[in-house]
Structure 1
Amino acid sequence: MLFGFVLLFGYAFVVWLVFFKFKWMKFNIAWGVVSVSVGLHLLLIFLLGLRYVAPYATEARLIQHTIQLVPRLPEPTLVTAVLVEANTPVRKGQPLFQFDRRPYQYKVNQLEASLAKARQDVLVMKNDIQINAEKVVKLRSELKYAEYQQKLSAKLAKQGAGPEEDAQKWSAQAAAYAAGVKEAQAEEERARLRYASEVDGVNTTVAAVQAELDQARYYLDNTLMVAPEDGYIINLQVRPGMVAGEVRFGAIASFICDADRYLLANFFQENLKYVKPGQLVEAALDLYPGQIFPGRVEAIWQGSGAGQMLPSGTLPNFSYVPTEVPQGQFAVAIRLDGEDQARFPIGTQGRATIYTNPDSGFVVLRRIGIRAYSWFNWLYPFSG
């Protein structure tokens, strides 16, 4: 910057010597236009220096993460209590809203009873295996007896010592016992399969009921909505008696997180040529007239929606953009210094400047400019 001042004052001194001191040339309108034009071009040195050494953002806003509070319930549920106040800090895990527990408690009770029954049924299936095994043994014994009687009756009937009907009766009885043995064996196998049906060592029926019970307990736990992080709620409209749940679309409140808030400033793309993370930043926030807040560059968002094309069957149509329309900008995330970040609420706006070379003389000019803006906020807007 010193070179620029020397060049500018040197040029002014030469003009003074030529036209006014020694009057080597007559100063007229033409020479006046030329002299002023050359002087204005020399001023471009300061413009270029400020743009690249101390880029300036006229639009900067405080950004905070927000969490949309959506009831995690499977059906519309009555809000029975609001346990938080608007604009009041809350800690992570602190209760916010209480929903009607009764329908979810009833479901848990029902499934707990079903789980107890399913576990009892497993013991019954184990006994069914033993019962069907004993039934097979009994029917096999009766089959052997019927086969013996059939052979004996057939022998007596052949010798004329007994009726043929007895042989036929015992033959039919043996066939019935044989069918009974097969049926009992099938029932035993079915009972064994039902008893042996397991997932990770747990009977499948018991596992299915346990899964339903776990889900019911999950919904019961979610009848109490708690704070996901440290933060607060603005514009609290939830009241006891309202119904929230699956039928309502969207959240019932927005939770503003305290952690990881940052200042997002927009810069012209070419001004970011020498900007890097970690560089010194000064911000003037409209909320605090006359104050300057230091910070550091955290990240440069090298991209914008202007370069995004969504999948479509329509070919891109590029149109002429007038030169007076502002060019695209990139955003820079800035982390402001200070432990008390609560001073910077969400949406706070202002301006910011980045010092790519803090030792440059151009920084002095930018420091004056941003402080002038901050002090001017005492007067503007003129609201009376």
Structure 2
Amino acid sequence: MDLLLILTYTAFCVAIFKIFKIPLTKWTVPTAVLGGIALIGTLLVLMNYNHPYTKFAREYFVSIPINPAVRGLVVEVNVKPNVPVKKGDILFKIDPTPFAAVVKEKQAALEDAKQAVPQLEAAWESSIARSTQAEANRDRTKSAYERYDEGRRKGGKNSPFSEIELDNKRQLYLAAEASYKSALADEIGYRLAFESNIDGVNTDVAVMQAELDVAVFNLEQTEVKAPVDGMVTQMALRAGVMAVPIPLRPAMTFIPDEDRYFAGAFWQNSLLRLKAGDDAEIILDSMPGVVHKGKVIKVLPAMAEGEIQFGGSLRSSNDLFTRGRALVLIELDDDTLRTSLPAGVAGQAAIYTEHFTHVSIIRKVLLRMQGWLNYLFAEAH
């Protein structure tokens, strides 16, 4: 940009000297040079501060790494590269055989658990009957023991009940008491097992249902589907590959069909001027001579050069030497670029603020001149 402005002024001075036949003297040449320095310097200061330009602009897009949720052998690849697909379309399939077998196993275990519930109820009712019988037997032996004990105490030496008979009755009573406590404990155990519920469902049934749900989920994940509308590009996945759920090694890369933004890196000295809503123009290396209009969406509130994260090492003072640039998001008015150009194209951008608007005309002219130069070569980034 600066070179274009200098060359334009030089050409203008040469034309003035030729047209008006101004002699080249020690007064005219220094006047033209000093005038150019003053004029160009003023224009550069006003343009760079109020209408900043950057040669570092690029379209950014988000990609989604497709990782299967389960591990298995790929048996079918349904998606074709660079062909748009809809949300929910199948991308590829994993062999479902082992997962279907697990589902059947869990279904059988769930049915067993459901059948066990009435069996638990029957066992509880049976234990109630046994405890009732044991209680009656205990009461009967207790009554007999108390009758013998009372007759033994009242009769004394003339009692018809001997010490051995009294001891037998006491042992029968104690045995009946122990049987009753055992039956009562069994009754409590069966009752707790039968009444063990979560949300009104037997806990064993709930556990089997949860395991079945996990198995069904894993079976469903053997069909890997598109998360949103978009496409897959540069696909190398083929049938026979072992797909594994490792985030560092996705099976394919999915590009969602969504709005994309251009990001420009601007010097920090213009941050007080830049704001959302400012007009912007972008020229692309891939479309020489064409200027695309847009708006500033946002000036990002953070710069990576100042980032600090938790870690076990100290930061070097050399990090302070990297000044960095402010990132500005620009949305183009023409959305057809998403279909006409590949995502990630690069170019240059200029922003026109509300200050010194008459100077912005020069910036627009210089930007278009730079766009015309792209017919010959693209500026290296």
TM-score > 0.5 by shorter chain: yes
2:52 alignment partner in structure 1: 55
SS in 1 for 2:289: coil
- TM-score normalised per structure 1: 0.82
For 2:293, the equivalent position in structure 1 comes to: 294
Query: Residue 375 in 1 paired to residue 372 in 2?
Result: yes
Structure 1 residue 344: Cα displacement: 4.2
In structure 2, list runs of 5 or more residues that go unmatched: 1-8
> Which residue is equivalent to 1:111?
106
Q: Which amino acid aligns with 1:295?
A: G
**2 CA distance for matches of 1:381 and 1:319?**
33
CA–CA distance in structure 2, aligned partners of residues 138 and 199 of structure 1: 32
Partner of 1:309 in structure 2?
308
Matched, 1:258 2:257: yes
Q: Secondary structure at the match of 2:236?
A: coil
Structure 1: gaps spanning 5 or more residues: 1-7
Contact 1:91/1:227 (CA < 8 Å) preserved in 2?
yes
92-101 or 121-130: which moved more?
A: 121-130
- 1:4 corresponds to: none
Amino acid at match of 2:132: V
The count of corresponding residues between Structure 1 and Structure 2 is 357
- Counterpart CA distance in 1 for 2:309 and 2:104 is 50
| Match status 1:177 vs 2:209 | no
* Equivalent position to 2:358, from 358, 361, 376: 361
Q: 1:69-88 residue pairs with structure 2 within 5 A?
A: 69-73=66-70, 76-88=71-83
**Offset of residue 190 of structure 1:** 1.2
> Which deviates more from structure 2 when the two are superposed, residues 42-51 or residues 148-157?
148-157
Amino acid at match of 2:263: L
1:1-384 → structure 2 map (5 Å cutoff) = 28=26, 33=30, 36-37=33-34, 39-73=36-70, 76-150=71-145, 167-246=166-245, 249-312=248-311, 315-319=314-318, 327-340=323-336, 341-357=338-354, 360-380=357-377
1:96 CA drift (Å): 0.5
SS of the residue corresponding to residue 228 of structure 1 reads coil
The SS at the match of 1:289 is: strand
For residues 326 and 319 of structure 2, the distance between their equivalents in structure 1, rounded to whole angstroms, comes to 21
- Which residue does the alignment assign to 2:4? none
Q: Aligned partners of 1:364, 1:66: CA distance in 2, in Å? A: 38
**In the alignment, is the contact (CA less than 8 A) between 1:285 and 1:349 conserved in 2?**
yes
What is the distance in 1 between the residues matched to 2:64 and 2:48?
Answer: 37
Q: 1:151 to 1:124 in 2, by over 3 A?
A: same
RMSD over equivalenced CA pairs, Å:
3.2
Secondary structure, counterpart of 1:296 in structure 2? strand
Task: Find the aligned partners of 1:140 and 1:95 in 2 and give their Cα distance.
Answer: 67
State the one-letter code of the partner of 2:292.
F
Shift of 1:284: 1.0
Query: TM-score, structure 2 length as denominator?
Result: 0.83
Q: Aligned-pair distance for 1:288?
A: 1.8
Secondary structure in 2 matching 1:241:
coil
TM-superposed CA distance for 1:33, in Å, is 4.8
How many Å separate the matches in 2 of 1:270 and 1:255? 38
Q: Is the 8 A contact 1:258 1:342 kept in 2?
A: no
1:104–1:219 CA contact under 8 A, matched in 2: yes
Contact 1:79 1:99 in 2 (8 A): yes
Distance (Å, rounded) in 1 between the aligned partners of 2:265 and 2:236: 33
